[in-house]
Amino acid sequence: MGCGAAHRLQPVSQDVIVQSVKHSHVGSWRTTPKVQEELTEAGYTKAVELPKHRSDTGQLSLRGKEEPAVARGGLRILQLDDFDLLDLLDETPMSAVFRLRHRRTGLTLAGKRIRKGCEVHQSGDYLNEVKMLQLCKSPYIVTLHGVCDSGTDFWTVLELCSGGRMEPWLRRFPNTARTVVLQLIEAVKYLHSKLVCHLDLKPDNVLLSGTGDIRLCDFVTSVQLSDAQQQMMGKCGTPQFRAPEVECGGAYNGLKADVFSLGRTLQVAQETPTKQAWPELVELIPHMLQLEPLQRPGVMEIHSFLTGGSQSVLKIDWSALGSVRCDEAQPRKAPVRMGPRGGRNATQQSSAPSKACGSNYCQRLGACICHDRVPTCATIMSPQERRAQLRRCNTP
């Protein structure tokens, strides 16, 4: 769940940074008129202080007489003082993930801390992750519970994935590899249906819940395209899982770049020793790792192939196929042993076409096709006897 800076299609302006000040040890949002309009467009509103209490379902609930501190899309504004910090789960140069427990509800969550002043904070990418998690609601994507501003840090409060990362999980439970792969493809298929490119797919960003369901995380570098063919610029993601066109630094399609990174991630699942082999996955991965982006299959094709809805991930290139004449495609006839006038000693080749019947079609073809097969006994008959045994042609 680390963070990495990237140049997105529509990067958040550096001025659009949510700041906070302390008022009686309670953090609150504050925006200047200069950036208020941009924040509103990004889906954020000025927060107000709310009382909090435990809901009937045990989930974190915010209620109050005044207008709730919920931005457009249902974003919750939380207070860090309401949580107990239990332990450190993960740490990168620009972020750290802690296990949190809500004091009133006892709900255990994950808190991702971003230090103010770091590269991710200055670029506004941390707000991009919040926006993407609000947009993408899927059972296979980590759930966003809210955000919190503590003055020196910005916190994103997320669902706690107690199963850990994908690689350790598959080492402990190798027979769940097929389920993990299919759920991961479902998650990416959902993102691409909304034209969202993750741009940092890798095993470390695939977490699992306590029940073994995957949760895709780390949407810091994600981008939503305006159309499927839109090109983008800038390096992002992890070098070992980054598509070659992204590594080159030129323009690329984010959806196809995701397919390459997904293929690298699926290689990890493929290498996990399991009792049941998955030949379809072995066949699929090389096509996902094609150097040419246009030769990679789409996520819909990948899902259909692995679930049995398609026989091949490759589309036939008819222009590359050779052509043959009709007479070259006809099979050769085997020689027939036939004696003169009913004898069996002489050998004649049946390459000469049979005499055509009286129909116009058979005359143009040069042979009668009204009978599927000549009877075996007819091979020792004279031509006159054979014509007498055959039925009359009914071809118009």
What residue ranges define each of the domains in the chain, with the CATH number in brackets? Answer: 19-158 (3.30.200.20), 165-311 (1.10.510.10)
The Cα–Cα gap between 229 and 40 comes to 29
Pairing of strands 144-149, 75-78: parallel
Q: Which amino acid is at 278?
A: W
For the stretch 35-82, pLDDT in tens is: 344 445 555 443 333 333 333 333 444 333 333 365 555 788 999 899
Is residue 315 pLDDT above 90, yes or no?
no
* Residue 60 Cα to chain centre, angstroms: 31
Q: Which amino acid is at 153?
A: D
List, in order, residues 6 or more apart from 313 with CB less than 8 Å away. Answer: 283, 284, 287, 297, 301, 302, 305
Confidence grade of residue 187 (pLDDT, cut at 50, 70, 90): very high
Mean of the pLDDT values across residues 175-200?
A: 96
For the stretch 89-145, pLDDT in tens is: 998 888 899 999 999 999 999 999 998 888 888 888 889 999 999 999 999 999 999
Mean of the pLDDT values across residues 171-176?
A: 92
Pairing of strands 336-337, 19-23: unpaired
Confidence grade of residue 272 (pLDDT, cut at 50, 70, 90): confident
Please indicate whether residue 371 or residue 217 has the higher confidence score (pLDDT): 217
Least trusted range by pLDDT, from 18-27, 130-139, 245-254: 18-27
Confidence grade of residue 381 (pLDDT, cut at 50, 70, 90): low
pLDDT for 230 equals 95
Q: What is the DSSP string of 312-352?
A: -SSPP-GGGS----HHHHSPPPPPEE--GGG-SS-EE-TTS
| Continuous segment of H or E residues that includes residue 61 | strand 60-62
Q: Are 370 and 394 in contact (CB under 8 A)?
A: yes
Per-residue CA distances from 332 to 181, 259, 327 (Å): 50, 47, 10
Per-residue CA distances from 125 to 13, 118, 183, 188, 240 (Å): 10, 11, 26, 20, 22
Backbone angles phi, psi at 111, to 5 degrees: -115, 120
Mean of the pLDDT values across residues 221-240?
A: 93
pLDDT for 32 equals 36
pTM: predicted TM-score of the whole model, two decimal places: 0.64
Confidence grade of residue 151 (pLDDT, cut at 50, 70, 90): confident
Greatest mean pLDDT range, 251-255, 266-270, 273-277: 251-255
Q: Are 256 and 296 in contact (CB under 8 A)?
A: yes
Mean pLDDT of the chain: 74
Per-residue CA distances from 257 to 327, 343, 360 (Å): 47, 74, 60
Instruction: Round the CA-based radius of gyration of the chain to a whole number and report it.
Output: 34
pLDDT for 360 equals 67
Q: Which two tokens stand for residue 362?
A: 């058979």
Is residue 11 pLDDT above 60, yes or no?
no
Residue with tokens 């409060």: 157
Q: Are 296 and 260 in contact (CB under 8 A)?
A: yes
> For every residue of 258-310, which 3-state class applies, written as one string?
HHHHHHHHHHHHHCCCCCCCCHHHHHHHHHHCCCCHHHCCCHHHHHHHHCCCC
